[in-house]
Chains A and B, each alone.
Chain A
Amino acid sequence: MVNAVHVFAAMIPWTSPSVSYYALAPELVLSAGIVAVLLADLFLSNRHKWVLSVISGFSLLGAMLPVIVLGLNDQGVWSMFSGRYVIDDFSLVMKGLFLLSGYVVVLLSSAHVEEGDYWRGEFWFLLLSSILGMVMMSSARDLVSVFVAYEFLSIPAYMLAAWRKRDLKSNEAGVKYFLLGVFASAVMLYGMSLLYGAANSTLLVDLGKSITVAGGFSSLHALGIVFVVVGFAFKISAVPFHTWAPDTYEGAPAPVTAFLSVGSKAAGFVALVTMLYVAFPSAGDVWQPFIWVLSALTMTVGNVVALRQTNIVRMIAYSSISQGGFVLMPLAVAAHSGSSDSALRAVVVYMIIYAATNLGMFAVIIAVSNKTRSGEITSWGGLFSYAPALGALATIFLASLAGIPPLGGWIAKFAAFQSLISAGSGWGYSLAVIGAVNSVIAFGYYGNVMREIWMRPVPDGDITPIRTHGSLALALGITTAATLAFGIIPGVALHFGDIARITGAFGG
């Protein structure tokens, strides 16, 4: 037996894969940060555990440096492991997004984690691990590496959601997220196995080629594509695969919810976009109508249910479901040769702006709930009268989420509409109209919160001003600046959307 293995091994000549450590620098820095947090946690006394948040923050910023350097370097594309792990502009933009939004999440968490008597070391460790998974997801170009990255970013997130150990809701959040997440993984894995069977390769580019070959497209492909898309639909909480999201968002600690609703969702979109653009570009007939339906349902159901919410976090949860529908919108025409570029741009731009705005909104929620100790929307009454700065910032974020110029959100929605209409097909027009109507409905609940902030009396008459923790103020500053800048100088966000080309997309 042992002998047989030796013989088998001898038959395949082993060549070590070429690895560019330069291109892998962001991942390496982040890994070093993770190890540093883990080690420091062992030796730090409880009083000094706050150092961990500093290490986490700096390792994220440290990983950001090579991303910038790689981005400025016009050496082109680093393709490793025969195209299974690719560092191109798309992946760099997304890595930047994950690292920076991760940094904001660290800022949001630090006060929260210090207060809450949690297991701090593990919190930072898991958070960084999940971000590392996302960073890897941006570069994964192979069914196996996509799946590994997907699990890498999900599993720490399941544990983070259940972080408040003795809180029933937090436990529910973690378990629900875990069970449905695992179910989604299973569905996706099944789809991947079908695809592997059809293409005889796990490399996404090979998958794409096997579909393009005349007569190569089989029903096996179609089935595989549908299963894979469903798997990602769970991650991006598209209706009808969204049921975990509201409970998980409500139960999880607020910074974790912010992380899930931005980072984890964006990672799902990155994976979805990579699959659609690199593996299935010529199978548009299969996935375009599917995405169309998902998008229309997600926007509409998310919106309508959000209208009925009385808890601010649940409302934001449903709003983020509906925002996901808007991100999906341009993908419904992404296989048209005329609109595939603009669809990719729209998705990237939307994720960037949505990340800034939604994280900002969570920063306000955390700041306000520090005082009101309540998640009810009515507890926000009269916020503007005793905390004018927070009230105004909340208004900015809500208006941006609603897509009102001149705040960031409008250019995100605009790019999505533009891409849809550029396809010039009935599918595109009809979805654009559905999106337009939905963006009005959305104001119903965003406006409702604004109304509480500006027009209602303070519910308990307690008008002590809110003191904002230093790191929270920094998070607010970053997100506000980004939200305003993207809206007034939309070129910034659109620029990143424009350079973010996926290598190998559409055979290019």
Chain B
Amino acid sequence: MEMLRDENWVLSVGTFLPMLGVLVLLIVPKTDEKLIKLVALATSIATVGVGVFTLMKFNYQNAGTMQFVAQTNWISVIKSTYFIGIDGISLPLYFLSMVITLSVVIYSWNNIPAPGNPKAFFILILVLQTGMAGTFIAQDLILFFVFFELVLLPMYFMIGVWGGEQRQYASMKFFLYTMFGSALMLVAFLAVFFKTGAESFSIPYLAEHGGSIAKNVQIWIFAGMFVGFAVKVPMFPFHTWLPDAHTQAPTQGSVILAAILLKLGTYGFVRIAIPILPEAARQWAPYIGALAVVGIIYGALGCLAQTDMKRLIAFSSVAHMGFVMLGISTLTSFGVNAAVYGMVAHGLITGMLFFIAGSMKERYHTLEISRLGGLLTQMPHLGWILGFASMASLGLPGLAGFWGEFPAILSAYNPAAGLNENVFRVYMVVAAIGTVFAAAYLLWLFQRVAFGEPKAEFATSTSDGAKHHEFEDVTTIEWIAWTPLLVAILVLGVLPNLLFKVIDPAVQGVLHAFGG
């Protein structure tokens, strides 16, 4: 694979800039909250700035090749190098992680969850950002693994310290599940390394030579990677950590978790498991597809059964990530394109939904759906934003969600050569039914929460005319934090080619073993 080697400092700076912010934060006294927030904000703005620079300098004619490549010695004894680069698949996710972090930092300006301590809170967010960005640019399996793991502890503490009532249980569950997956994943990485002659951990190198591993061995190695990535996605039946983690996490944690962390798993499939082990991928594809559609239906039914709004949104992630995995399992460029698009769209939309849920929780101090109602009369802006995000989430054409969901379903009609068409067509039908469910639970949610009159306990005024509750509609800070996401959802919905054009060439490269 030919690589462009210009401006190779860009990615390292973009990835490690947040760590600089962390170092500065470490010396800022704990009591100076204003300064802490300023440093965090400045750091994340600067990071996005580097991200924008990356977007500008990216060579879109060659979106399929690795760009801004940097490679230096790191652990030469085990032939692992500090090898980074970015292509059309990584670029949107890399940039998305920066934008989401900025949104979260802005949102936290007046919204540090109990028990406070903004210094530690912002340090964790910035460390998370480094881990997320690093995962998307790593071109070396060991480097990938280190970044992949780097996000674990900050998220563990974020859920466990700033989370809801069940936070300790949820954080431990989150950690153990992911760690179990990544431990097996590491063993699988090592097996790939030795089975290709112990030459290199570089992903492009392994993608070139991995195909020569005997098929039976490939299937075993794939199993290890599968567990690692599937836990992170999460795929049914590895999803059980997700509703707990999401529900208990503070708003900021939920947003980062939904928008970026879940993508690490699907990204791993696209970047690592499938290109390196193509034969095994072909063998596994029908089973992955089956679990994906089970996830779609299971997630949707789970949503219908929820009484808590945040938990409902969490379950909807299981369903949406099912669509992404279905697209990937077809092993066609059509399907994988849809999957990558779906990752970005789901990141924006579900991130947005969690923001809204957080803001509602802050105002009502509950997310019990049966106690909510009349959001549109009480806080029309927030209500309409919720409506907008729900429509996007259920896949309304013209909004970003559609372009992840619909092509993914369509791609199952015609899976890659060697896969059983009939099986995938059944998946297609099941997934299509899943979209109906999606419409059902989201519209039902919107109807119960936003329509009608507010319930008595939250009524703005009672019959005697005395005011009981005063609710502030969307605040300026919320507007600033949310606008980029809302705009992106709309723009990507209307102009899908903006993104497909970038993703597609890179997807062709990933699927070269399947004839594109």
Q: Which residues of A does B touch, CB under 8 Å? A: 345, 384, 388, 395, 399, 404-406, 410-411, 414-415, 417-418, 421-422, 424, 429, 432-433, 436-437, 439-440, 443-444, 447, 450-451, 454-455, 490-491, 494-495, 497-498
Contacts and interface: CB of A to CB of B under 8 A. Distances in A.
A421 B157 CA distance: 33
B153 A436 contact: no
A440 B198 CA distance: 26
B145 A440 contact: no
Contact of B77 (A436, A454, A491): A491
A404 B178 CA distance: 12
B443 to A, nearest CB: 38
Contacts of B76: 491
Contacts of A447: 156, 172, 175-176
Contacts of A498: 77
Given A406-B150, A436-B183, A454 B190 contact: no
A404 B167 contact: no
B28 to A, nearest CB: 13
Contacts of A451: 160, 168, 171-172
Nearest to A495: B77
A490 B176 CA distance: 25
Given A417-B190, A418-B190, A440 B180 contact: yes
Nearest to A490: B75
Given A417-B190, A490-B75, A443 B175 contact: yes
A450 B157 CA distance: 9
Nearest to A403: B183
A443 B179 contact: yes
A344 to B, nearest CB: 13
> Among B77, B168, B180, which residue has the most Cβ atoms of chain A within 10 A?
B77
Contacts of A491: 73-77
A495 B190 CA distance: 20
Contact of A404 (B78, B149, B176, B193): B149
A440 B179 CA distance: 6
Closest 8 CB pairs of A and B: A436-B183, A494-B77, A405-B146, A421-B190, A440-B180, A405-B149, A455-B160, A490-B75
A403 B77 CA distance: 19
B153 A399 contact: yes
Contact of A433 (B30, B153, B184): B184
B186 interface: yes
Given A404-B153, A415-B78, A455-B168, 14 more contacts: A399-B153, A404-B149, A405-B146, A406-B149, A411-B75, A418-B78, A418-B193, A432-B190, A436-B184, A439-B179, A451-B160, A491-B76, A497-B77, A498-B77
9 contacts: A404-B152, A405-B145, A429-B187, A450-B157, A454-B160, A455-B171, A491-B74, A494-B78, A497-B77
B385 interface: no
A443 B186 CA distance: 16
A49 to B, nearest CB: 39
Given A410-B146, A447-B156, A447-B175, A432 B187 contact: yes
Nearest to B117: A385
Interface string B152-178: 110011001100000110011001100
> Among A399, A443, A455, which residue has the most Cβ atoms of chain B within 10 A?
A455
Contacts of A495: 77
Contacts, number: 93
B459 interface: no
B53 interface: no
B191 interface: yes
A440 B191 CA distance: 19
Contacts of A494: 75, 77-78
B157 A440 contact: no
> Among B156, B179, B191, which residue has the most Cβ atoms of chain A within 10 A?
B179
Nearest to B178: A440
Interface of B: 30, 73-78, 120, 142, 145-146, 149-150, 152-153, 156-157, 160-161, 167-168, 171-172, 175-176, 179-180, 183-184, 186-187, 190-191, 193-194, 198
A417 B152 CA distance: 21
A404 B150 CA distance: 8
B194 A421 contact: yes
A384 B183 CA distance: 28
Contacts of A450: 156-157
Contacts of A440: 176, 179-180, 183
A384 B119 CA distance: 13
B168 to A, nearest CB: 6
A424 B30 CA distance: 52
Given A404-B153, A437-B180, A451-B168, A421 B191 contact: yes
Contacts of A455: 160-161, 167-168, 171
Contacts of A490: 74-75
Nearest to B157: A454
Contacts of B176: 440, 443-444, 447
A367 B180 CA distance: 32
A99 B226 CA distance: 45
Nearest to B191: A421
B186 A436 contact: yes
A410 B80 CA distance: 14
B476 to A, nearest CB: 32
A439 B149 contact: no
Contacts of B183: 436-437, 439-440
A421 B180 contact: no
Contacts of B187: 417, 421, 429, 432-433, 436
Contacts of B175: 443, 447
A424 B146 contact: no
A384 to B, nearest CB: 8
B173 to A, nearest CB: 11
Contacts of A443: 175-176, 179
Nearest to B167: A455
Contacts of B145: 405
Contacts of A436: 183-184, 186-187
Nearest to B220: A429
A497 B73 CA distance: 18
Contacts of B78: 414-415, 418, 494
Nearest to A395: B153
A422 B191 CA distance: 8
B385 to A, nearest CB: 33
Contact of B194 (A345, A406, A422): A422
Contacts of A415: 78
B32 to A, nearest CB: 15
A497 B78 CA distance: 12
Contacts of A411: 75
Contacts of B75: 411, 490-491, 494
Contacts of B120: 384, 388
A494 B190 CA distance: 17
Contacts of B146: 405-406, 410
Contacts of B190: 417-418, 421-422, 432
Contacts of B77: 345, 491, 494-495, 497-498
A406 B151 CA distance: 10
> Among A345, A411, A414, A429, which residue has the most Cβ atoms of chain B within 10 A?
A414
A422 B77 CA distance: 14
Contacts of A405: 145-146, 149-150
Contacts of B152: 404
A495 B194 CA distance: 21
A399 B146 CA distance: 13
Nearest to A456: B168
Contacts of B160: 451, 454-455
A410 B161 contact: no
Nearest to A432: B187
B232 to A, nearest CB: 14
A406 B77 CA distance: 17
A504 B516 CA distance: 55
> Among A422, A433, A436, A447, which residue has the most Cβ atoms of chain B within 10 A?
A436
Nearest to A491: B75
Nearest to B179: A440
